[in-house]
Structure formats: structure tokens, C-alpha cells
């Protein structure tokens, strides 16, 4: 496929989900620079679907994605991608303004209720007296979701080329000439779904970058002997300084919610962030830590206003941004892909996203 209608740069959750929607309408080629798709942010996610995560501008995308994640197309996946979790937002007495901001910001949109946090989280230290329960929060099977997108993409005729990097591209005759090193690919439309590399890809295409910044997030797996239940809620600090959730029997995934600017790279955890995560965990609960079993880091990429970027670049015809999805790209992927496909094809958006306003996500806000 050297003359596809569309080339998508990036085979992670963003590129795979959009490709799965576009392949029914056009010939689509995904270029993935790694030996396996989803190696970076997609493969390192602390996977959950939480409507308040990412803020009020992201919530409509998350909420609209819920029905697809719960009841996917049976031709591509035979069960829900979600499993029950719940989220418990907690704080100390002085954190009341953060509780009020959370509940006011999502009033009428997300079901939130004040609770006694100690009644839901055994071992919570007594100074954590404020609690807000988000009952709808669920875990996501990220690997299954990513593979389902890729399976749909391939069945509809899409092609993915691994270990293939976009070295450069230039606009020509209403389309694009893409240099992948081994060959020149001609296409009508170029989609930038390159995650942490989004601005680098834009530059290589002669398109002005938006200022999408990769931020490193550290995650630690702890062994907690005798953890009371693997089904406890995900616990989130109201000030967003840390969160953790059980991951199977006697295991916890913990992050200090760090956001350290980083160049695009194969991210690795730093010991200071690991130590900070453990210190915050011990301030919140009295659970004994038997071992730090595993630690990793991933890059979450944000536009300057922290909202995703979906749309045609106003200064570069035929160049479509599908990037800046922060830490919420997985939980919003079904709705975002439907929205992106509608913008690209010009077709009426399907009922699932008919009420979504695409204007807050347009790259025109940066031009």
C-alpha cells in the first residue's frame, strides 16, 4: 500500500482507534516506529475509565465512550472492556475547597456523593476525613481494547507497518509525499497520532508545532500482604498529588501523579519519584509494604491548555492533528475516534457523539 488515501503516524491507542473508524471509508496505512504497536503510553497505562479524570472539557468524551467500552461490537470483542472499580476522592479537613470544586464542576454530569472515606477504605489514616465517591469509575482492559481496534482496522483492509518511522514529509499536489526511509509513500491525508512525538512529526512535515509537551508519569507496583480486598476503590487525592488502586491479590499500583517535562523517549522511572510515591502512600494508609515489585514510567502528552487536539491544521491542508490526549486517551478513545473520523470524512457524526462539540479540541485555537 504505497498510495493509500490516508497515512496515520502512530499505532498506539490514538492511531489504532482512529484507523479502525476510517478504514471503512478509505484505504489507510498506519506507520508505527516501534517493533510493536502500543509500546509507549498505551502499554504503560494505569488503566481506568473515570468520568471526572481530565476535567470538565474531557468528561464529555469519556462519558460518550462508556457505552462502547461496556458493549463493544461483538464482531471484534465478545465482552465488556470494563470491570467494576469505583473511585474514592479523599482529603484532609483543609482540602474542602478541592472537594467543593470537584462536586460543583461536575454537577449534573457525573454522579458524585460525599461519603465517610474510612467506611470504604480500611486502614485509611484518621486525618483523611473528606471523601467523595465516584461510583461509575471502572477498570479498563487496555490490551484487549487496543487489540480490538487493530483487529477491526485490519479486517476492514487497513495495513500497519511496524518499525517504520516517518523521517520527513512534504505537501505536493493536494496530498503528501512521505519518506519512511525505505520507501516514498504518497497519500492524500496525513494524520498525526504520534503521542509524545506529535510536535516532532509536525516539524518533519513542515507544519508548525502546537507545543505538545510530554510529561513523565511514574508508577510503582507494591506487594501489600493481606490486602483486605482486590476490589477496593481507586483512591485519589483531592489535590491530585497521588493515587493508587489494587491490582489483583495483595498488589497495589501507585503513582505520585508526577508530571515532569521530558523529551520524547523510552521513559524510565526515577528513584526520587518512586520514593515520593511511597511516602505519600504511607501518609494515606497504614498498609505494610513488603516489597516494591516493579516500577515503570510513561509519557503523557499535553497541549498548552491540556485539552486534546483533534482537527485539520488551518495552515497546512491535508494535515490532521489527533494528539495531546494526556492521560485520558485510552478512556476517551472510542468517542475521540468517532469524532476524528467524522471530521475527516465530513460525514454526520453518529448518534453516540452527536452532542459533542468539536470546537474546544480544534487546532485553530493555537493559530
Burial class (CB in 10 A: 0-12, 13-18, 19+), 97: exposed
> How buried is 171 (Cβ within 10 angstroms: 0-12 exposed, 13-18 middle, 19+ buried)?
middle
Q: Are 248 and 281 in contact (CB under 8 A)?
A: no
User: Could you give the angle at the alpha carbon of 305 between the alpha carbons of 363 and 263, nearest 5°?
Assistant: 90
CATH topology (fold) of 87-136+213-302? D-Amino Acid Oxidase; Chain A, domain 2 (3.30.9)
Domain ranges of the chain: 6-63+142-211+305-366, 87-136+213-302
Q: What is the mean pLDDT of each run of 10 residues along the chain (367 residues)?
A: 92 97 97 93 87 96 97 88 97 98 97 97 98 97 95 97 96 93 94 98 98 97 94 97 95 96 96 96 97 96 97 97 94 97 96 94 96
CA gap 362, 310 in Å, rounded = 5
- State pTM to two decimals: 0.95
Q: Are both 6-63+142-211+305-366 and 87-136+213-302 of the same fold?
A: no
Classified as helix, coil or strand, 165 is coil
Rounded distance between C-alpha atoms, residue 285 and residue 90, angstroms: 12
C-alpha cell at 358: 468539536
Buried b (16+ CB within 10 A) or exposed e, 319-356: bbbbbbbbbbbbbbbbbbbbbbbbbbeeeebeebbeeb
Match 506487594 to its residue by C-alpha cell.
Answer: 223
Q: Outline where the chain has alpha helix (H).
A: 13-22, 59-70, 96-105, 142-155, 198-204, 271-284, 333-345
- pLDDT at residue number 1: 67
Which of 179, 171, 222, 191 has the alpha carbon at shortest distance from 320?
191
Do 205 and 190 contact (CB within 8 A), yes or no? Answer: yes
The three cell numbers locating residue 224: 501489600
What are phi and psi for residue 307, nearest 5 degrees? -100, 150
Q: Which residues make Cβ contacts (< 8 Å) with residue 324, sequence separation at least 6?
A: 198, 210, 212, 301, 302, 303, 307, 308, 309
- The CATH topology of domain 6-63+142-211+305-366 is FAD/NAD(P)-binding domain (3.50.50)
Grid look-up 490516508 returns: 6
300: left (phi over 0), alpha (psi -120 to 50) or beta: beta
| Cell numbers for 348 | 454526520
pLDDT of residue 136: 97
Amino acid at each position: 500500500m504505497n498510495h493509500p488515501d490516508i497515512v496515520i503516524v502512530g499505532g498506539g491507542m490514538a492511531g489504532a482507534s482512529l484507523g479502525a473508524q476510517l478504514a471503512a471509508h478509505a484505504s489507510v496505512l498506519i506507520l508505527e516506529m516501534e517493533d510493536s504497536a502500543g509500546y509507549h503510553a498505551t502499554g504503560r497505562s494505569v488503566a481506568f475509565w473515570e468520568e471526572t479524570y481530565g476535567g470538565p472539557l474531557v468528561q464529555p468524551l469519556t462519558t460518550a465512550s462508556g457505552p462502547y467500552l461496556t458493549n463493544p461490537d461483538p464482531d471484534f470483542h465478545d465482552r465488556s472492556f470494563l470491570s467494576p472499580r469505583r473511585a474514592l476522592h479523599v482529603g484532609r479537613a483543609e482540602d474542602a475547597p478541592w472537594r467543593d470544586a470537584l462536586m460543583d464542576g461536575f454537577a449534573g454530569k457525573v454522579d458524585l456523593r460525599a461519603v465517610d472515606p474510612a467506611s470504604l477504605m480500611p486502614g485509611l489514616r484518621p486525618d483523611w476525613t473528606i471523601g467523595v465517591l465516584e461510583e461509575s469509575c471502572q477498570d479498563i482492559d487496555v490490551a484487549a481494547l487496543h487489540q480490538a481496534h487493530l483487529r477491526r482496522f485490519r479486517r476492514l483492509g487497513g495495513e500497519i507497518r511496524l518499525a517504520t518511522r516517518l523521517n520527513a514529509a512534504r505537501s505536493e499536489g493536494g496530498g503528501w509525499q512521505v519518506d519512511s526511509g525505505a520507501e516514498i509513500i504518497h497519500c492524500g491525508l496525513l494524520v498525526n497520532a504520534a503521542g509524545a512525538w506529535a510536535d516532532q512529526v509536525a516539524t518533519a512535515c513542515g507544519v508548525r508545532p502546537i507545543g505538545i509537551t510530554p510529561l513523565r508519569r511514574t508508577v510503582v507496583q507494591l506487594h501489600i500482604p493481606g490486602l483486605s480486598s482486590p476490589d477496593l476503590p481507586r483512591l485519589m487525592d483531592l489535590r491530585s498529588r497521588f493515587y493508587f488502586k489494587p491490582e489483583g491479590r495483595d498488589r497495589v499500583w501507585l503513582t505520585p501523579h508526577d508530571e515532569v517535562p521530558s523529551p520524547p523517549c523510552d521513559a524510565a522511572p526515577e528513584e526520587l519519584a518512586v520514593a515520593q510515591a511511597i511516602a505519600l502512600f504511607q501518609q494515606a494508609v497504614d498498609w505494610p509494604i513488603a516489597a516494591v515489585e516493579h516500577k515503570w514510567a510513561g509519557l503523557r502528552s499535553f497541549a498548552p491548555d491540556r485539552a486534546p487536539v483533534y482537527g485539520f491544521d488551518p495552515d497546512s491542508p491535508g494535515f490532521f492533528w489527533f494528539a495531546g490526549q494526556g492521560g485520558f486517551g485510552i478512556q476517551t478513545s472510542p468517542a475521540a475516534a468517532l469524532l476524528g473520523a467524522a471530521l475527516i470524512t465530513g460525514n454526520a457524526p453518529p448518534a453516540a457523539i452527536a452532542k459533542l462539540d468539536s470546537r474546544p479540541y480544534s487546532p485553530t485555537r493555537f493559530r
